A = this chain, B = another copy of it.
Amino acid sequence: QSNVSLYGLADLSVGRTQAPGGQSTNSVDSGKMSTSYWGIGGKEDLGGGLSAVFKFEQFVRMNTGAMGRFDGDTAFSRTSSVGLSSASLGTVTFGRNSTPLFVSTLLFNAFGDSFGYSPSIRHYFSSGTVTGDTGWNQSVMYASPTFSGFRFGAIAAFKTGDAATDGKNWGLNFSYGNGPIAASLVFQDVKKDSAVAALDDTRTVQLGASYDFGAAKAFAQLGSIDNKTKDVGYDIAGLGVRVPLGAGAAIAQWSRIAPDVGSDRNTLSVGYLHTLSKRTELYAVAMSDKIDNLGTGKSYSLGIRHKF
């Protein structure tokens, strides 16, 4: 056949998990630093700078072998898309695409896409602040080429059902990267319901930036989410740093989410990534996750992350 790639990431750890105000449990966990997955993808050169591109990517909870991020998740919920990519005109993909807001959130914090330990991922996504998931079904996405360091992108997703409360999603992102500096501005509007439930309508604005000083790389993130269904607003601020150290790097990330109504949440994660190769690292990470008037969750993990 053709040059199809088989790739993915395996992340397993042992550790202690505690939600704010909750009991702690010890466990063998999958995907604490990066959600484990495998995928099939490829790119076909069509000539004239044009290519066809496709991806099927499946999350796996490797501690049990279960498929998806949770029971009932779709099989290829990480990405399933096909489209055309032009060196001069940009890339259009159809299907299930990761949102620019999710990509920007993971790029501008020191813990990346860690659903276990990134305070940013926690405050935007895994605590339910931003609705509509990190990838959108029935979507069309566009990513521009880079013009003097600038890029922009757009995503739109069709409504799922016929309910009057259902609607379309859209997102826009503007990015800049030049040597040590990188920055991103993202807008996102969620009105589309999921296949199984009505979702709150939310609008999000997020600004992210990073600067690589060489001895350290600093991250900053500011976001505002407006939940129109509940008429509640949220402000999120994040700061992080990554310091190359020995055969690896020390990382730290703090984020605070302040809702209009209810308690503030302050989350601080620190860790060390020990590099065994470009594809494999061991990690030791810890998090203090405090919700005012509720309590502090203290978690840690010792694990291995392997890209293939």
Contact = CB atoms under 8 A, between A and B. Distances in A.
A62 B75 CA distance: 10
Contacts of A79: 65
Interface in A40-81: 40, 42, 44, 46-47, 50, 52, 54, 56, 60, 62-67, 74-81
A68 to B, nearest CB: 8
A25 B83 CA distance: 22
A304 to B, nearest CB: 6
Interface stretch (A11-19, A107-115, A177-185, A251-259): A11-19
Nearest to A40: B38
Given A44-B306, A306-B82, A52 B279 contact: yes
A67 B23 CA distance: 35
A84 to B, nearest CB: 7
Contact of A95 (B12, B77, B95, B158): B12
Interface in A15-34: 23, 25-28, 30
Interface string A80-95: 1111100000000011
A138 B17 CA distance: 14
A282 to B, nearest CB: 8
A148 interface: no
A8 interface: yes
A65 B137 contact: yes
A75 B78 CA distance: 16
Contact of A62 (B1, B52, B67, B80): B80
